[in-house]
Amino acid sequence: MGKEGAGVDAEDRQLLRAFMHGEESAFTALVIKYRESVYRVARRMLGSHEDAADVAQEVFIRAHRALPRFDGRSQLYTWLYRITVNLCLDFRGRSSRLPLLDDEDGARDRSGVPTAEDEAEAREAGRLVARAVAQLPPRQRAMTVLRLYQDLPYQEIARIMGCSEGTVKATMFAALRKLRRMLTEEGVRAP
């Protein structure tokens, strides 16, 4: 880390310092802290567990290599999300295909779905929503995932995507309108 960052939260700063002093276990602690968030972003972006798992591995490999150069001006998770989103955008570019949706019904942490019928309906709606998200252009999809699923503020999303906050908002607006049109065509109702 170049500057001991004002942007990094205290716990991360401590772990980063330990890692820089050669404590490999500090890196493991950081991975454990952020691995699920990284995986979820990749999973939403790519649509398949296997692809998301591969990207998550690559994110932490690159982070391990680049941490000594991390300047600490942003939060560590912003930096990790940036690596994740870039790898996902690249991944799609290389494979030039839409995200796989075959395991879209895979393990999800849903609560309060009482009957089998409701469950089936929720699954179908989930599948259609995931398909609509998958059809968004990659950058719109990334911003939608970061805002609606990861709950990141617009300012952080702008840092991750390397653009202005205004661009993120305008892109999100376009994405929501597109999603509304696609979901209306599919007959998906509000929850």
Partner 1 sequence: MTDRCAEVLERLVEGVTGTVPPDERAGVAGHLAACSRCRDEAASLEAVAARLRAQGRFVAPPGFWEEFMRRLAGRIQEERMPAGARLRRWLASPRHAVGTAVVTAVTVLAVFAAIRTIPPPPDPVVVRARGLVTATMTSSLPSLGEMLDTWRAGLAHETDAVVDLKAR
Residues engaged in binding partner 1 (CB under 8 A):
24, 28, 31-32, 35-36, 39-40, 43-44, 49, 53, 56-57, 60-61, 64-65, 106-111, 125-126, 129-130, 133, 144, 147-149, 153-154, 169-170, 172-173, 176-177, 179-180, 183, 188-191
Nearer to partner 1 among residue 1 and residue 38 (C-beta): 38
Nearest approach in angstroms of CB 123 to partner 1 is: 10
What CA–CA distances, in Å, run from 12 to 58, 65, 84, 166?
A: 20, 17, 18, 29
- Cβ 100 vs Cβ 51: under 8 Å: yes
Residue with tokens 């170049």: 2
Enumerate residues 6+ apart whose C-beta is below 8 A from 151. Answer: none
Nearest approach in angstroms of CB 82 to partner 1 is: 19
Nearer to partner 1 among residue 43 and residue 92 (C-beta): 43
Nearest to 2 by CA among 16, 14, 15, 12: 16
Nearest approach in angstroms of CB 4 to partner 1 is: 24
